[in-house]
Amino acid sequence: MNSLFRCAFSRHHAARPMPFHSQAHEARTCKTNSLVNKQGTHVNRVQAPRKHAVLVYARYGVQRGNPEISDRILGAVTYILPFLNAFVYARFLYLTVPVVRAALKPIMPAITTYNSVPLGSLIAFFALYLGVVNNKNMSRFVRFNAMQALLLDIMLILPRLMESVISPPSSGWGVDVYVHSQSCIWVFIAIWVIYGISNCILGQYGRIPFIADAADQQIR
């Protein structure tokens, strides 16, 4: 009898509705948890751009603020090296295209003087690498552009090696291929030199495809 009474009492107690204060407490708990979740989501959304900005800074070294005028000028000057070394590939365009001849004629004395210096290209290369790229006192903006200029100059080694191994053709369709390939090399270098100088003047990081990543790794 006692066991039956206890069983009925337990069933009656379990079937009783939850007291009002318990329901209110549970509602407040659910509301608080919901608020915490919403706040947590909001915090994550706010912090996400900051984390992304940190990753961008670590990846690309983007600096806040505009570079100084002196840094812009120094960064632009570094691109003169690949331009001077690539001029040898512009000789056919210089002789056949009047626009190119008119654009390059004012700087011909400087190009002639540069080419007349023994080992001038090698001296300029190491001077730029040791004096600018590895100089921690220089701003990152200048060092980055100097490294990009050096990598453009290094790209000119491959066609020079090919010319030293394979003699240029003297007749037939090979002459046309040789002339056009020489002109394309100069146009390629000239485009990226103009791109780099323009971005330096504007105070922006002009990232040359494939070269910019290598430049980042060298100046960290």
What pLDDT score does 66 carry?
87
Name the pLDDT band for 172 (thresholds 50, 70, 90): confident
Query: pLDDT of 112-151, one tens digit each?
Result: 999 899 888 999 999 999 999 999 999 999 999 999 999 9
**Contact call for residues 144 and 216 (beta carbons, < 8 A):** yes
184 and 87 both lie in a single domain: yes
Structurally, the chain folds into a number of domains equal to 2
**Contact call for residues 112 and 139 (beta carbons, < 8 A):** no
What pLDDT score does 42 carry?
44
State the average pLDDT over residues 9-19: 45
Size of the chain, expressed as the number of residues it contains: 220
What pLDDT score does 187 carry?
95
Position 61 in a domain = no
How many Cα atoms are found within 13 Å in the side-chain-facing hemisphere of 28? 5
3-state secondary structure of 64: coil
- For 26, the token pair is 């549970």
- For 172, the token pair is 């037939």
What pLDDT score does 89 carry?
92
8 and 91 both lie in a single domain: no
State the average pLDDT over residues 11-20: 45
